[in-house]
Amino acid sequence: MINNKNKLEQILLKWIYQQRICNECETRIRFGDIECPHCGLDLEESIDEWIIPLANQISSLENSK
């Protein structure tokens, strides 16, 4: 249980600190931004692209129990 908790923490920290770039103007996106601070591009579609791999990693961790 503790080992899975540590793995989950590592997955989440890696995901939070992973650098994200705007698809339109290549500006760095900060954690929590919902639109690009430079060009104003709505990041909702990009968030889906970022969340799905995170959900898959967490799911595979749960399935490995």
**What is the model's pTM?**
0.63
Distance of CA 39 to the CA centre of its chain: 21
Q: 47 with 57: CB under 8 angstroms?
A: no
pLDDT tens-digit readout, 9-65: 999 898 888 888 998 999 998 888 889 999 999 988 878 888 898 899 989 887 775
Q: Which long-range contacts (CB under 8 A, 24 or more apart) does 4-7 make?
A: 4/61, 4/64, 4/65, 7/61
| Residue 2 pLDDT greater than 90, yes or no | no
The domain segmentation of the chain, as residue ranges, is 23-52
Phi, psi of 56 (to 5 degrees): -65, -40
How far is the first Cα of the chain from the last one, in angstroms, to the nearest whole number? 9
